[in-house]
Amino acid sequence: MSDAGASPLVQVRGLKMHFPIYAGIFRRHVGDIKAVDDISLDIRESETLGLVGESGCGKSTAGRAVLRLYDITGGSITVDGTDISDIDKEKLRHLRPKMQMIFQDPQASLNPRMTVAGIIGEPLVEHMSLSRAERLERVYELMDAVGLNRSFANRYPHEFSGGQRQRIGIARALALHPKFIVCDEPIAALDVSIQAQVVNLLEDLQEQFGLTYLFISHDLSMVRHIADRVAVMYLGKIVELAPRDELYGAPLHPYTQALLSAVPEPDPVRESQRKHIILTGDVPSPSNAPVGCNFCTRCPRAEQICHEIEPEFRQVDKGRYTACHFVGDTAIKTAEPTVGETVKP
Amino acid sequence: MTDVTPDSLAAARPPQSQWRNVWDQFKTHRGAVWGMGFFIFVVLAVTLGPYIWTIDAQYIDIRARNSGPTLAHPLGTDQLGRDTLARVLEGGQVSMAVGITAMLLALVLGAAIGVVAGYFKRLDGPLMRLTDLFLALPLLPLLLVIIMLFRDTLRAAFGPETGIFMLIVFVIGITSWMQTARIVRGDVLALKEREFVIASRSIGTPSRRMILRHILPNVLSPITVSATLGIANAIITESALSFLGLGFPSDFPTWGRLLFDSTDYLQQYPERVLWPGLAISLTVLSVNYIGDGLRDALDPRIRGR
């Protein structure tokens, strides 16, 4: 799947994360919530992969599963050449410094009873044998890197604003020189002026430390700003994966088209002329996904085939993948996509 | 960002000890300071008091029986002429010791079982069924059986008073940890799903340090509350046991014993129940205030307000 010559930093193949449902007196296993159902993606070194989708589509679960914060149901995850999909706890612990996470709710992700120095220092205590003074020095360095005043080290999380708390979370994630960071909606809980600050900080840090991000968000404009490539999720599956400009310029999958048409246009004249694709109905339950294409219940273009056969997630153009029966027939005909070929949505 | 303190100045101030902040906050809680003062006073009174008020608690002065407060007996005497002040002081030693030790035992047991049951999903079922089992046991028959079985062996091994003291502490501790365990387990279950615990897991913190660093400090509030209630409960249970003739020997004073002895004379000498009753309730009250202040002081969100 990798188009670049070098092998990707993170390689996810057929990842499945199902949560069992137990019911009745005997707690029988009656079904699964398929939060993440067979997704495959690559994240190349120093790139940002945006992962978008509506609430409840499994974005956050996917992010956590990639870091093996859950015991995954199936598939494989390779990070920096090591397969971590069913590695034992102790070995995983030693790999933890490579991959870190930034959380959505900066209030909830910081222990209210620890000082900032304690929170940022925790990864250092776990993985490095530093003296107290060395550790403090490193904590100060990290605080400088994320733009926190050193004098805040003794304070507790509740004394900070949302943006500052998120900086603390970022400093903690940076402490061990990670290569790969999963940003799980890092800006969703912040107000707009702070969002820009945090996103710019993330970009600066990426440049400075050569970080690779999996940027999970439902804010399409922010993803357009920060991501190099974008994956769109719907009901536990990736429906489209493409480089940013192609995806925003000419979305292929009907769901992506609908999602993008919902992004408001700042110019009121153009906004009033724009045609919106309005989806009807609700997202089906992930415990009882429809037969065939996951999107067939709401898709404006759905036909008989969509209710019967699950579309394959396949490459339709260079670096563009989608799972829809009606997309990229041209690409299938011409096995090798030609230069300059445009794929009509 | 908003603070403009120069870095050089800030760096000069290393992180200070958390306990200092805790103490500073504790001092601002007026009730807690009074409670602490009174508690220390009671502890000193029952430990050093008998050296100052030298009348033997067992000494029978039959001619002075049933006397009201006099200079010779400031709190009066009982029906056998034993000095009430001396008995309250000496009885306090045992009651306080039983209360504190039994509370600590119940607390450690309850917190440990609660945390382990809440944190390790596999142990949750068995441990909580064990808790239910203890909750369902009829307490008094159980105490009777335990004391019948072990009293004589322990007396022979450690002497009558130490033996019975250990037995009572053990019996009270073993039968009062369940509420703590249940409350702590519930809190741990909720805490385990909080993002900072997941963050810590993503760092690779092993379970043991996860519990010590993230779980325990955050369940401190319910634990302190059960601790303060536990002391009161233990003192009262001990007096109930004494009343049933299962506790300390009948001539051996404890606060509970004094209280029950005096109830027979409630109509003639109502002031006699007052002294042990006052001692029990004021001690319990002071401990509750200390717990209250401690809980506030340990919570950084309340601290500094």
Q: What is the pLDDT of residues A142-166, one digit of tens each?
A: 999 888 888 888 888 888 988 899 9
The pLDDT of A23-38, averaged and rounded, is: 86
pLDDT of A49 over the 60 cut: yes
pLDDT of A140 over the 80 cut: yes
Name the band, by pLDDT with cuts 50, 70 and 90, for residue B1: very low
Q: Return d(Cα A296, Cα B303) in angstroms, integer.
A: 55
CA distance B293 to chain A (A): 16
What pLDDT shows up at residue A328? Answer: 63
What pLDDT shows up at residue B25? Answer: 82
CA distance A10 to chain B (A): 16
Give whichever of A206-215, A314-323, A331-340 has the largest mean pLDDT. Answer: A206-215
Which chain A residue shows the shortest CA-CA distance from B21? A154
pLDDT of B209 over the 70 cut: yes
**Residue B78 exposure: Cα atoms within 13 Å on the Cβ side:** 27
Name the band, by pLDDT with cuts 50, 70 and 90, for residue A214: very high
Q: What is the pLDDT of residues B112-163, one digit of tens each?
A: 999 999 999 899 999 999 999 988 888 778 877 888 888 888 888 887 778 8
Taking CB atoms and an 8 Å limit, are B203 and A104 in contact across chains?
no
Q: Which of B7, B13, B199 lies at the smallest CB-CB distance from A101?
A: B199
pLDDT, chain A, mean: 85
The pLDDT of A324-340, averaged and rounded, is: 53
Single out the residue of B21, B66, B88 nearest to residue B255, CA to CA: B88
Percent of chain A with pLDDT over 70: 93
The pLDDT of A5-25, averaged and rounded, is: 85
Q: Return d(Cα A74, Cα A182) in angstroms, integer.
A: 20
The pLDDT of A84-108, averaged and rounded, is: 88
Chain A residues in contact with B299 (beta carbon < 8 A): 112-113
Q: What is the pLDDT of residues A194-210, one digit of tens each?
A: 888 889 999 999 999 89
Q: Return d(Cα A124, Cα A131) in angstroms, integer.
A: 10
Residues 6+ apart with CB under 8 A from B179: B110, B226
Chain B residues in contact with A104 (beta carbon < 8 A): 195
Provide the Cα torsion A216, A289, A20, A49; round to 10°: -20
What pLDDT shows up at residue B259? Answer: 82
What pLDDT shows up at residue A343? Answer: 43
Name the band, by pLDDT with cuts 50, 70 and 90, for residue B7: very low
Q: Return d(Cα A317, Cα A345) in angstroms, integer.
A: 12
Alpha carbon of B137 to those of A338, B131, B149, B175: distances in Å?
80, 10, 17, 9
> What structural domains does chain B harbor?
19-53+86-298 (1.10.3720.10)
The pLDDT of A86-92, averaged and rounded, is: 86
pLDDT of B3 over the 50 cut: no
Backbone angles phi, psi at B266, to 5 degrees: -60, -35
Backbone angles phi, psi at A36, to 5 degrees: -130, 125
Q: Give kind and range of the element (H or E) at residue A50.
A: strand A48-52
The pLDDT of A249-268, averaged and rounded, is: 86
What ipTM was assigned to the predicted interfaces of this complex? 0.81
Q: What angle do CA A234, A72, A214 make, to 5 degrees?
A: 55
pLDDT, chain B, mean: 82
B198 part of contact set with chain A, CB < 8 Å: yes
Q: Choose the weakest-confidence range: A62-66, A280-284, B100-104, B241-245.
A: B241-245
The pLDDT of A104-119, averaged and rounded, is: 88
pLDDT of A312 over the 90 cut: no
HEC letters along A261-326: HCCCCCCHHHHHHCCCCCCCCCCCCCCCCCCCCCCCCCCCCCCHHHHCCCCCCEEEECCEEECCCC
Q: What is the pLDDT of residues A288-303, one digit of tens each?
A: 888 888 888 888 888 8
More confident residue, B20 or A132: A132
pLDDT of B186 over the 90 cut: yes
Q: Which of B7, B196, B203 lies at the smallest CB-CB distance from A150?
A: B7
Q: Return d(Cα B28, Cα B33) in angstroms, integer.
A: 8
The token pair at A7 is: 């092998």
The pLDDT of A308-325, averaged and rounded, is: 87
pLDDT of A92 over the 50 cut: yes
Single out the residue of B20, B27, B42 nearest to residue B283, CA to CA: B42
Q: Choose the weakest-confidence range: A326-340, B159-173, B193-207.
A: A326-340
What pLDDT shows up at residue A342? Answer: 42
Which chain A residue shows the shortest CA-CA distance from B199? A109
β-pairing, A212-216 vs A237-243, is: unpaired
Name the band, by pLDDT with cuts 50, 70 and 90, for residue A341: very low
Single out the residue of A256, A263, A109 nearest to residue A182, CA to CA: A109
Q: Return d(Cα B136, Cα B76) in angstroms, integer.
A: 43
Taking a contact as any Cβ pair under 8 Å apart, which residues of chain A between 233 and 272 contact chain B?
none
Q: Return d(Cα A166, Cα A104) in angstroms, integer.
A: 9
Q: End-to-end CA distance of chain B, in Å?
A: 23
CB contacts < 8 A (A, B): 99
